[in-house]
């Protein structure tokens, strides 16, 4: 791009109630001569290879087109011509997880196109997670970008809660809580109705925005539950089978274990699918998920055969089957994709992302702040690696490159 | 006639058997208590207490079945919830001092 | 007289409790014998979950299909969901505190 740094502005776009006002604000700024180019960007929370990828992309294109048309109309009304309005969808080759991923993608895009300013829509929450915007602003503040939030009249907190509370999520959480209450209580006794409805309402008001990050949708949600029901006996069988294997190892007087820490990059979305997968991995004996850093799972394995099973990725395919359907389950194993690494022992291919190498003395926790600890994971990891092993640093850098579009 | 009163062997009923099994679980719990006392790290202790808690839930449920006291199950359910909360809260607290949630 | 279905149910109860005791024994052995917190978390989350699962299944069989039996099933489901999560939380805390996993050749801790 020929634009000089401060002349362009990037606006991450999503279908929010305040998108129109945000676009208007940006157009005004352009009319005042602050910027000459507007980039509307959708940061994709999906991958194009997902079965619904095409639909999601079409939705995103629709939103982004609307934003462009609004901006052009506003600029025409203001009598400003010759402004460059560009649109882009980035991040469709990978799942984006936390705010740091979104911030990184945005910063990379800005770098590439010589953009110096970011204007954020105050309601911008690309994964439907209400706590994303502030951490993302925090992440962006550590880049060279100039960040500002569009001064849009924000609906008050109370109204927001109410609009969310009438939604489908509220109904889902309310229904499930009430059902659970009646299973424990007596649905034929009037007093249980009063207390049950009261408790379910409280639960739904306080937790409906936290416990669900996607709205339950008709064909998908029951299908997922159905496919989950298919998965349960399979998982149980696996658990019993490999538990016997591990029981033999543990009861063996020689205790023939060979524990190592491993890293696997898994191709499932964040939130519920990731939880399902990592809990399944933990439940199958011999493997234990210790850490989920975005899409990288750090898995501790007790015996080599369990590690091999993990690298063959059958649980990953099952998780994809549950959440995305049968076609999505056909993919190469993590080993074939070269998404695996052993972090310890003679076969180690990568250094352990733990700062201390002194044999397990308890050190002070690396971070005091809860939110920061999560957000800075990637950075903290790379520093620790640099201390422990020179190779490690390059690995983390390689991870960062993946994020480039 | 419920299953609890059915005779397994030599005059001992399923209820007796469940009580004996509960005693076995208590013995196993004593073994886990060793790890909870010895440690050496904080996480070892939390883990041991978590396993002890799961054991307690099982013992409670079996006692409830053996003595035909269904209310024991409610206590077991609450105990399981608290046990889980304990493990999560302590392990979060040790990493992010002061920030539990 | 106990009919044959009841007899099957009774022996299933006995069998489940014995299997549950066995896996809990494995879990206890693991928690005592294994060298570090990560490998102990393995048995704590897996063998113990299975042991508790079998024991609770036996309890559900004893109680039968009424309100309390349903509670036992919920309890079972809940244990299967929370035990690995708790083990993950504990192992994660150990990881964040910089405890390096034990490997072959290290001293036992």
> What's the alpha-carbon Rg for chain B, to the nearest Å?
17
The residue that leads in pLDDT, C26 or A395, is C26
The shortest C-alpha distance from C106 to chain A (Å) reads 8
The residue that leads in pLDDT, C54 or A356, is C54
Beta strands A296-301 and A287-293 are antiparallel
* pLDDT at residue A105 is higher than 70: yes
pLDDT of res. A154: 53
The residue that leads in pLDDT, B100 or B86, is B86
Interchain CB contact of A183 with B (< 8 Å) = no
User: Among the listed ranges A79-93, A151-165, C51-65, which one has the minimum average pLDDT value?
Assistant: A151-165
pLDDT of res. A85: 83
Whether B41 sits inside 8 A of A370 (CB atoms) is no
What is the pLDDT confidence band of residue A88, given thresholds at 50, 70 and 90?
confident
Q: What is the mean pLDDT of residues A24-41?
A: 83
The residue that leads in pLDDT, A338 or C7, is C7
Q: Which residues of A271-296 are buried (b: 16+ CB within 10 A; e: fewer)?
A: bbbbbbbbbbbbbbbbbbbbbbbbbb
* pLDDT at residue A197 is higher than 60: yes
* pLDDT at residue A130 is higher than 60: no
Instruction: Tell which of B44, B73, B92, B97 to mutate to test the A interface (max A CBs under 10 Å).
Output: B97
Structure tokens at A368: 């005091």
* pLDDT at residue A362 is higher than 50: no
What is the pLDDT confidence band of residue A378, given thresholds at 50, 70 and 90?
very low
pLDDT digits (tens, 9 = 90+) for A286-331: 788 887 776 778 888 888 887 777 777 778 888 888 877 777 667 7
Q: Whole-angstrom Cα distance, residue A46 to residue A54?
A: 10
Structure tokens at A125: 């929450």
pLDDT digits (tens, 9 = 90+) for A142-175: 777 788 777 766 544 433 444 444 577 788 888 8
Which CATH superfamily does the domain covering A5-149 fall into? HUPs (3.40.50.620)
pLDDT of res. C105: 64
Please list, in sequence order, all residues whose beta carbon lies within 8 angstroms of the beta carbon of residue A236, skipping any fewer than 6 positions away: none
Instruction: Tell which of A186, A211, A229, A247 to mutate to test the C interface (max C CBs under 10 Å).
Output: A247
ipTM: 0.84
Q: What is the mean pLDDT of residues A54-74?
A: 81
Whether C75 sits inside 8 A of B43 (CB atoms) is no
Structure tokens at B33: 């208590």
Whether C62 sits inside 8 A of B65 (CB atoms) is yes
Interchain CB contact of A184 with C (< 8 Å) = yes
Distance set, CA A263 to CA A236, A238, A260, A288, C87 (Å): 25, 22, 10, 11, 18
Contact between A266 and A297 under an 8 Å Cβ cutoff? The reply is yes
Beta strands B7-9 and A117-120 are unpaired
Whether A184 sits inside 8 A of B74 (CB atoms) is yes
Q: Whole-angstrom Cα distance, residue C78 to residue C72?
A: 10
Name the average pLDDT for chain A: 71
Q: Whole-angstrom Cα distance, residue A168 to residue A172?
A: 6
What pTM was computed for the model? Answer: 0.63
Contact between A353 and A385 under an 8 Å Cβ cutoff? The reply is yes
Whether C52 sits inside 8 A of B54 (CB atoms) is yes
* pLDDT at residue A243 is higher than 70: yes
What is the pLDDT confidence band of residue A10, given thresholds at 50, 70 and 90?
confident
Whether B95 sits inside 8 A of A365 (CB atoms) is yes
A14-18, A186-190, B3-7, B95-99: range with highest mean pLDDT: A186-190
Q: Which chain C residues are Cβ-neighbours of A345 within 8 angstroms?
A: 103-104
Q: What is the mean pLDDT of residues C87-105?
A: 77
Map out the domains of chain A as residue ranges.
Answer: 5-149, 157-211, 220-350, 365-405
Determine what percent of chain A is predicted with pLDDT higher than 70.
70
Q: What is the mean pLDDT of residues A260-270?
A: 77
Whether A360 sits inside 8 A of B74 (CB atoms) is no
pLDDT of res. A113: 83
Distance set, CA A1 to CA A55, A84, A115, A118 (Å): 31, 11, 9, 17
What is the pLDDT confidence band of residue B82, given thresholds at 50, 70 and 90?
very high
Q: Whole-angstrom Cα distance, residue C63 to residue B4?
A: 8
pLDDT of res. C91: 84
Q: Which chain A residues are Cβ-neighbours of B95 within 8 angstroms?
A: 365, 373
Distance set, CA A339 to CA A189, A192, A334 (Å): 56, 52, 5
Contact between A201 and A177 under an 8 Å Cβ cutoff? The reply is no
pLDDT of res. A403: 34
pLDDT of res. B10: 65
* pLDDT at residue A86 is higher than 70: yes
The residue that leads in pLDDT, A376 or A97, is A97
CB atoms within 10 A of CB C89: 24
Q: What is the mean pLDDT of residues A205-227?
A: 73
Question: If we measure between CA atoms, which residue out of A90, A85, A10, A109 comes closest to residue A43?
Answer: A90
pLDDT of res. B60: 92
Determine what percent of chain A is predicted with pLDDT higher than 90.
0
Instruction: Tell which of C103, C107, C108 to mutate to test the A interface (max A CBs under 10 Å).
Output: C103
Which one-letter DSSP state was computed for residue A41? E
pLDDT of res. B59: 92
Name the average pLDDT for chain B: 82
The residue that leads in pLDDT, A179 or A374, is A179
What is the pLDDT confidence band of residue A345, given thresholds at 50, 70 and 90?
low
pLDDT digits (tens, 9 = 90+) for C34-45: 888 888 888 888
| Residue A342: strand pairing partners | A262
Q: Which chains would you list as touching A if contact means 3+ CB atom pairs under 8 Å? A: B, C
């Amino acid at each position: 791009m020929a634009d000089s740094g401060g002349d362009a502005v990037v606006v991450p776009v999503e279908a929010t109630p305040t998108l129109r006002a945000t676009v208007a604000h940006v157009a005004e700024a352009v009319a005042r001569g602050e910027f000459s180019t507007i980039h509307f960007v959708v940061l994709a929370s999906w991958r194009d290879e997902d079965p619904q990828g095409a639909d999601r992309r079409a939705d995103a294109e629709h939103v982004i087109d609307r934003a462009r048309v609004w901006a052009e109309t506003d600029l025409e009304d203001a009598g400003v011509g010759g402004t460059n309005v560009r649109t882009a969808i980035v991040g469709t080759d990978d799942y984006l997880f936390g705010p740091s991923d979104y911030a990184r993608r945005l910063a990379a895009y800005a770098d590439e196109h010589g953009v110096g300013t970011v204007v954020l829509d105050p309601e911008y929450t690309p994964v439907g997670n209400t706590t994303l915007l502030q951490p993302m602003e925090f992440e962006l503040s550590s880049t060279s970008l100039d960040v500002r939030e569009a001064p849009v009249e924000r609906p008050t907190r109370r109204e927001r809660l109410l609009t969310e509370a009438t939604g489908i999520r509220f109904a889902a959480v309310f229904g499930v809580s009430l059902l659970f209450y009646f299973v424990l209580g007596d649905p034929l006794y009037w007093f249980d109705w009063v207390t049950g409805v009261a408790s379910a309402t409280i639960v739904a008001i306080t937790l409906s925005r936290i416990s669900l990050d996607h709205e339950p949708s008709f064909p998908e949600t029951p299908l997922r539950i159905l496919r989950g029901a298919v998965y349960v006996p399979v998982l149980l069988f696996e658990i019993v089978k490999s538990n016997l294997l591990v029981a033999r190892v543990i009861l063996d007087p020689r205790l023939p274990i060979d524990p190592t820490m491993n890293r696997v990059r898994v191709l499932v979305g964040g939130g519920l699918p990731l939880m399902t997968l990592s809990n399944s991995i933990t439940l199958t004996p011999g493997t234990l998920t210790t850490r989920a850093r975005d899409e990288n799972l750090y898995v501790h394995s007790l015996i080599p055969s369990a590690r091999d099973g993990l690298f063959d990725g059958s649980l990953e395919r099952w998780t994809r089957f549950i959440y995305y359907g049968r076609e999505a389950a056909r993919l190469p194993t993590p080993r074939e994709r070269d998404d695996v690494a052993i972090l310890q022992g003679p076969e180690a291919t990568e250094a352990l992302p733990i700062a201390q190498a002194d044999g397990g003395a308890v050190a002070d926790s690396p971070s005091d702040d809860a939110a920061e600890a999560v957000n800075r994971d990637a950075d903290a990891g790379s520093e620790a690696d640099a201390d422990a092993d020179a190779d490690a640093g390059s690995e983390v850098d390689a991870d960062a490159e993946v994020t480039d579009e | 006639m419920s299953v609890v009163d059915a005779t397994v062997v030599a005059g001992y009923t399923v209820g007796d058997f469940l009580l004996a099994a509960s005693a076995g679980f208590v013995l196993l719990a004593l073994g886990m208590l060793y790890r909870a006392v010895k440690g050496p790290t904080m996480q070892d202790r939390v883990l041991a207490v978590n396993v002890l808690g799961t054991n307690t839930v099982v013992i409670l449920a079996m006692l409830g079945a053996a003595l035909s006291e269904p209310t024991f199950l409610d206590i077991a359910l609450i105990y399981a919830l608290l046990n889980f909360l304990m493990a999560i809260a302590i392990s979060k607290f040790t990493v992010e001092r002061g920030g539990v949630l | 007289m106990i009919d044959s279905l009841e007899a099957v149910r009774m022996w299933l109860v006995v069998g489940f409790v014995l299997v549950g005791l066995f896996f809990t024994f494995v879990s206890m052995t693991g928690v005592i014998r294994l060298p570090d917190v990560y490998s102990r978390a393995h048995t704590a989350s897996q063998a113990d979950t299975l042991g508790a699962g079998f024991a609770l299944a036996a309890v559900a069989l004893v109680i039968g299909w009424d309100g309390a039996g349903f509670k036992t099933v919920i309890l079972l489901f809940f244990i299967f969901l929370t035990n690995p999560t708790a083990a993950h939380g504990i192992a994660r805390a150990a990881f964040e505190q910089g405890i390096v996993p034990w490997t072959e050749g290290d001293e036992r801790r």
